[in-house]
Amino acid sequence: MKAFLAKLDCGAGTRACRVETRLDAFRGLRTPRSKVPNTHAPRSKGIVRPKSVDTSVDAADTSVRATAVVVLALLTLACSAVAATGAQPGGELRFCLYSEPKTFNPLLVADTSSEAIRYMTAGVLIRVNRQTQELEPSLAVSWRVVSQGRGIAFKLRQHVAFSDGTPFSAEDVAYTMHTLFDPSLHAPTADSFHAGGAAVKIETPAADEVTLTFPTPVAGIERLFDQVGILSSKSPRKEMASLGPFYVAQYKPGSEVDLSRNPYYWKRDRQGLRLPRIDAVRLYIQQNRDMELIRFQRGDLNIMSAVSPELFDQLQARMPAAVRDLGPSLESEMMWFNQSPKAPLPAYKKLWFQSREFRRALSAAVNREDLCRLVYRGHAHPAEGPISPANRFWFNSGLKPHRYDPAEALALLGKAGFRLQDGQLYDAQSHAVEFSIVTNAGNQAREKIAQMIQQDLKAIGIRLNVVKLDYSAIIDRISQSLDYESCLLGLTNVDLDPDAQMNVWLSSASNHQWNPNQASPATPWEAEIDRLMQAQGSELNPARRKAYFDKVQEIVSQEVPFLYLVTKNALVAVSPSLQNADPSVLRPQAVWNIEMLALTQEVAKK
Amino acid sequence: MSLDAAGTSARTTRLGRALLRIAATALAGGLLSATMVRFSPGFGLDEKQLDARLSRESQEAVLRSHDQERNPLRFYAAWWKRVFAGDLGFSQSLNRPIRELLADRAPATLDLMLWGIAGAWVLAIVFSVPAVMRRLARLAAVSSLFSGMTASLPAAGIAILLFRMGISAKWMVALVLFPRLYQYLRNVLQQASGRPHVLLARAKGLRWQPLLWRHVLLPARAQLIALVAVSINMAFGAAVAIEAICDIPGLGQLAWKAAAARDLPVLVVLTVMIALVTQMSNLVADLSTPILRSQS
């Protein structure tokens, strides 16, 4: 057998990932017999299990016949190995990551590129369907929330193996959860559970059952498992052994990440064929979106995600069939004023920023429709609150849109003691109203937004100075020195559930940007938001949680601590050569159903 | 002591001093870099801090992860200690050992620099030699205009322009270097070709080609070697901007990313490395000059 395998190795393709795919297949051919029950063996036609070979051979047969049978059995076995790996000519899907992935460990993911790779490689217990936004069974066939929301019990899928053939069991889930909740890891995914460092009880009553018990109830606990990639407790490849449709075959730092088809992926299509349909995924690490556009037009790339409105319109003119505007995404642009008492700002400016009328007036003075039209070329919508309409369940459709009304803005300012004199606005102590807004340099859309706000505020006598800083300097200003007056940044809700925004809304939180780390709520409305957020976090009934969070959205809309400006549309480009593409506004947009994607025959053959 | 021995001793002393100067420059450059990065706004911060999912403990852990870098002197001393143990440090922003980052990225930059330098020299020679030796006034005017135009553009500007035209990054480096090399090369050639015996030879009707090597280039070889050393430094400077714009995974791109992320260990390694390369190439030029002059 070993000699046979060595020959096949030599005959394999020259590319490292291909060699690795085949090696994995062969490893799987050996391991299922010893480690996985027979039922784990791939169900492809023509499988001849070694056991049946042994029993079917009559000991009285001549040695020639026996040899022939063994050779035949080996050949059949080889064929079945090819079938098991699903060696269909699926081709290679190519698209870009816009930054270097920082980790391949699914538990340590914190950046967008690593998140995309985790989605394609890691297996999870429960998957959030990016199109319906509903939960779907994945490695867990069923689950139930137990202990009044403090726990969750999973029934696991059987006969599943990692990409290197190591069988999957409850032990792996327990190992993953133990690793995830290691206090020294500081994984964002673990923090989402709000376990607070307390011990999480993990039990495995059977090989296909796991129960997790947390010290306190966890709101919306099920959806959090969409982010928890399961690790193998036994595989020698450690976190590189995957349960998802692909595994990382090769990484060329700064250049590309190559994924290969997981030959043991558990999912099959309606015809019973093993998924995914594509053999490999090549992810180019490329920040330059112009170059990406050129390569997409040349046919080198199959997908472009998060396309800018300018490139979208360029592409629409040249390849109208390729572009798709999916409507509002989860990304919005917003600005806020520094209300922190610790900020090194003049006292009179702090009074402006702490005035509700001032904030509401400025909100009314900004023409959001113009921002959508001119900055985003119509591929955006005026934002109403912290939750985008793309978040179907949690969006509060009752919020009133922020109307552009400079007259109302001036009226509100008048009520707060401001006066307009010779085109300049003055406060009650005769200070000319002038402040600065910081935003990150290099983000063209944000720079344009800042310029347009500057024009809008000029119309009500306010002088706005735009300060462009690099991202690190902005983080320093808004989180450490607090040396800024107002800030314009983007917001991306990675998680649909508002429980993930706890660190934004609680007044004691460090990401409560307008006035972080408060010892006690500075205003009654912040105290009310604290109460409502805590209430939704400990409530299990989704309808009641929604009611609490709707109220939070209403308070935010009235008090305007954040001026939500626009919700960007999700813009993607999908090559006509890619079949079954059904892009979603949720990340990873065009590849959320990667296992179902297929390339046209001509492209697949390339 | 014989004259030869005295000469060798003087050369050894000079070499020793030069090496000490190189070491001191690299040391000082590294420390300066560490200090500048340490006190730049945004140092020790990570975009993870804006991740609303992170608990207070995790955010504090992110901040604490840079504790060893807060005192630049202490960091620098500890870093050199690790360097002598064969460890260049760890990049937190890219989550990889710096040794691996350098090994992965150096070939791309070397390739870009070598082709760029070669291209720039070819262009400079093609434009300057006929202009000076054949006294082609029009060519001299056109090449001066062209080099003036390219010299007035920053490396990033040239890179963006050529990138949009679909021209290879190697040509971008070549075009960034060209004006500097051209100006200097033309001056050197003019100086060498203006020597009395060259002028006399030309006046007697000798063609310029035989004169070029023996009477123009060879006498100017010391300056030309110094120019090669300078072009290495210029090429790396150009590579930073070009690699960042064209997404070339080289050391220039690494420097760019490290600067944006205030990655202190990476920036110190790159600074020391560039200081060493620059000083070493200058040393080679310095040492070769008297030897070449004595031979001419």
Residue from B40, B48, B53, B243 to probe the interface with A (highest A Cβ count within 10 Å): B53
Whole-number pLDDT of residue B50: 82
CB contact under 8 A, A471 and B62: no
Burial class (CB in 10 A: 0-12, 13-18, 19+), B152: exposed
Q: How far A547 CA lies from chain B's nearest CA (Å)?
A: 22
Query: pLDDT tens digits for B199-220?
Result: 888 788 787 777 777 777 887 7
Q: How far A261 CA lies from chain B's nearest CA (Å)?
A: 26
Q: Is B254 on the interface with A (CB under 8 A)?
A: yes
Looking only at the bridges linking them, the beta strands covering A486-492 and A434-440 are parallel
Nearest to B172, CA basis, from B246, B110, B107, B229 = B246
Q: Is B260 on the interface with A (CB under 8 A)?
A: yes
CB contact under 8 A, A253 and B100: yes
Residue from A475, A496, A533 to probe the interface with B (highest B Cβ count within 10 Å): A475
The answer to which of A19-28, A457-466, B69-78 has the lowest mean pLDDT is A19-28
Mean per-residue pLDDT for B94-120?
92
The per-residue DSSP string of A251-262 comes to EETTTEEEEEE-
Confidence tier at A492 by pLDDT (50, 70, 90): confident
Q: Is B4 on the interface with A (CB under 8 A)?
A: no
Task: For the beta carbon of residue A397, count every other beta carbon within 10 angstroms.
Answer: 7
Whole-number pLDDT of residue A148: 86
Mean per-residue pLDDT for B168-177?
87
Query: pLDDT tens digits for A106-143?
Result: 999 989 999 999 999 999 999 999 999 999 999 999 99
Mean per-residue pLDDT for A403-426?
96
Residues from chain A that touch B55, judged by Cβ atoms under 8 A, are 191, 194, 196, 503
Is the pLDDT score of A9 beyond 60? no
Please give the residue of chain A at the shortest CA–CA distance from B101: A253
Q: In what order do the strands lie in the sheet with A151-156?
A: A140-146, A151-156, A209-213, A201-206
Whole-number pLDDT of residue A25: 33
Q: Which residue would you say has higher pLDDT here, A226 or A79?
A: A226
Mean per-residue pLDDT for A218-228?
93
Please give the residue of chain A at the shortest CA–CA distance from B252: A254
Question: How far is residue A221's CA from residue A230's CA, in Å, rounded to a whole number?
Answer: 16
Q: Where are the domains of chain A?
A: 2-84, 94-302+575-605, 327-568
Is the pLDDT score of A514 beyond 70? yes
Q: How far A499 CA lies from chain B's nearest CA (Å)?
A: 9
Helices (H), chain B: 3-38, 56-64, 72-84, 98-133, 137-152, 155-164, 169-193, 196-203, 208-211, 221-246, 251-260, 264-295
Q: How far B287 CA lies from chain A's nearest CA (Å)?
A: 38
Q: Which residue would you say has higher pLDDT here, A90 or B117?
A: B117
Whole-number pLDDT of residue B278: 85
CB contact under 8 A, A291 and B56: no
Helix/strand/coil for B46: coil
Mean per-residue pLDDT for A464-471?
95
The answer to which of A33-47, A484-498, B87-101, B118-132 has the lowest mean pLDDT is A33-47
Question: How far is residue A427's CA from residue A354's CA, in Å, rounded to a whole number?
Answer: 13
pLDDT > 70: percent of chain B: 96
Candidates B50, B57, B104; nearest CB to A511 = B50
Confidence tier at A227 by pLDDT (50, 70, 90): very high
Mean per-residue pLDDT for B115-143?
85
Candidates A186, A288, A500; nearest CB to B247 = A288
CB contact under 8 A, A510 and B42: no
pLDDT > 90: percent of chain A: 70
Please give the residue of chain A at the shortest CA–CA distance from B163: A291
**Average per-residue pLDDT in chain A?**
85
Q: Is B61 on the interface with A (CB under 8 A)?
A: yes
Residues from chain B that touch A102, judged by Cβ atoms under 8 A, are 94-95
Whole-number pLDDT of residue A604: 65
Residues from chain A that touch B253, judged by Cβ atoms under 8 A, are 254
The answer to which of A308-312, A357-361, B87-91, B157-161 has the lowest mean pLDDT is B157-161
Whole-number pLDDT of residue A409: 97
Looking only at the bridges linking them, the beta strands covering A598-599 and A578-579 are antiparallel
Confidence tier at B153 by pLDDT (50, 70, 90): confident
Cα-trace Rg, chain A:
28
The pTM of this model reads 0.80
Look up residue A565 and give its two tokens: 């400006």
Q: How many CA atoms lie within 13 A of A504 on its CB side?
A: 20
Residues from chain B that touch A495, judged by Cβ atoms under 8 A, are 53
Distance of CA A336 to the CA centre of its chain: 25
**What sign does the dihedral B210-B211-B214-B217 (CA atoms) show?**
negative
**Average per-residue pLDDT in chain B?**
85
CB contact under 8 A, A480 and B246: no
CB contact under 8 A, B59 and A110: no
Mean per-residue pLDDT for B45-68?
84
Residues from chain A that touch B54, judged by Cβ atoms under 8 A, are 186, 188, 191, 503
Q: Is B67 on the interface with A (CB under 8 A)?
A: no
Phi-psi region of A482 (alpha: psi -120 to 50; beta: other; left: phi over 0): left
Most confident of A234-238, A571-575, B116-120: A571-575
Q: What are the residues whose beta carbons fall under 8 Å from the beta carbon of A598, sequence distance 6 or more? A: A90, A277, A278, A578, A579, A580, A604
CB contact under 8 A, B249 and A253: yes
Residues from chain B that touch A510, judged by Cβ atoms under 8 A, are 49, 56, 59
Angle, alpha carbons A217-A218-A219 (nearest 5°): 115
Omega within 30 of 0 (cis) for the link into A276: yes
Q: Is B197 on the interface with A (CB under 8 A)?
A: no
Mean per-residue pLDDT for A28-36?
33
pLDDT > 70: percent of chain A: 84
Please give the residue of chain A at the shortest CA–CA distance from B246: A288
Q: Is B39 on the interface with A (CB under 8 A)?
A: no
Residues from chain B that touch A107, judged by Cβ atoms under 8 A, are none
Q: How many CB pairs under 8 A join A and B?
A: 109
Is the pLDDT score of A383 beyond 60? yes
Whole-number pLDDT of residue A199: 80
Q: How far B197 CA lies from chain A's nearest CA (Å)?
A: 55
The answer to which of A41-50, A157-166, A539-548, B250-259 has the lowest mean pLDDT is A41-50
Is the pLDDT score of B65 beyond 60? yes
CB contact under 8 A, A471 and B55: no
Question: How far is residue B187's CA from residue A156's CA, in Å, rounded to a whole number?
Answer: 79
CB contact under 8 A, A475 and B42: yes
Confidence tier at A27 by pLDDT (50, 70, 90): very low
Q: How far B77 CA lies from chain A's nearest CA (Å)?
A: 26
Whole-number pLDDT of residue A87: 38
Question: How far is residue A570's CA from residue A326's CA, in Å, rounded to a whole number?
Answer: 5
| CATH superfamily of domain region A327-568 | Dipeptide-binding Protein; Domain 3 (3.10.105.10)
Q: Is B207 on the interface with A (CB under 8 A)?
A: no
Whole-number pLDDT of residue A36: 32
Q: Is B100 on the interface with A (CB under 8 A)?
A: yes
Residues from chain B that touch A286, judged by Cβ atoms under 8 A, are 247
Candidates A469, A475, A495; nearest CB to B49 = A475
Is the pLDDT score of B288 beyond 80? no
CB contact under 8 A, B245 and A288: yes
Candidates B59, B96, B249; nearest CB to A510 = B59
The answer to which of A22-36, A145-159, B217-231 has the lowest mean pLDDT is A22-36
The class that CATH gives domain B80-295 is mainly alpha
Q: Tell me, what amino acid is at A209?
A: E
Confidence tier at A442 by pLDDT (50, 70, 90): confident
Q: Which residue would you say has higher pLDDT here, A76 or A550?
A: A550
The answer to which of A44-48, A401-405, B28-32 has the lowest mean pLDDT is A44-48
Is the pLDDT score of A4 beyond 60? no
Candidates A197, A254, A509; nearest CB to B57 = A197
Residues from chain A that touch B57, judged by Cβ atoms under 8 A, are 183, 186, 197
Residues from chain B that touch A503, judged by Cβ atoms under 8 A, are 52-55
Burial class (CB in 10 A: 0-12, 13-18, 19+), A287: middle
| CATH superfamily of domain region A94-302+575-605 | Periplasmic binding protein-like II (3.40.190.10)
Mean per-residue pLDDT for A508-534?
95
Residues from chain B that touch A469, judged by Cβ atoms under 8 A, are 41
Whole-number pLDDT of residue A605: 62
Query: ipTM for the complex?
Result: 0.74
Q: How far B231 CA lies from chain A's nearest CA (Å)?
A: 26
**What sign does the dihedral B49-B52-B53-B54 (CA atoms) show?**
positive
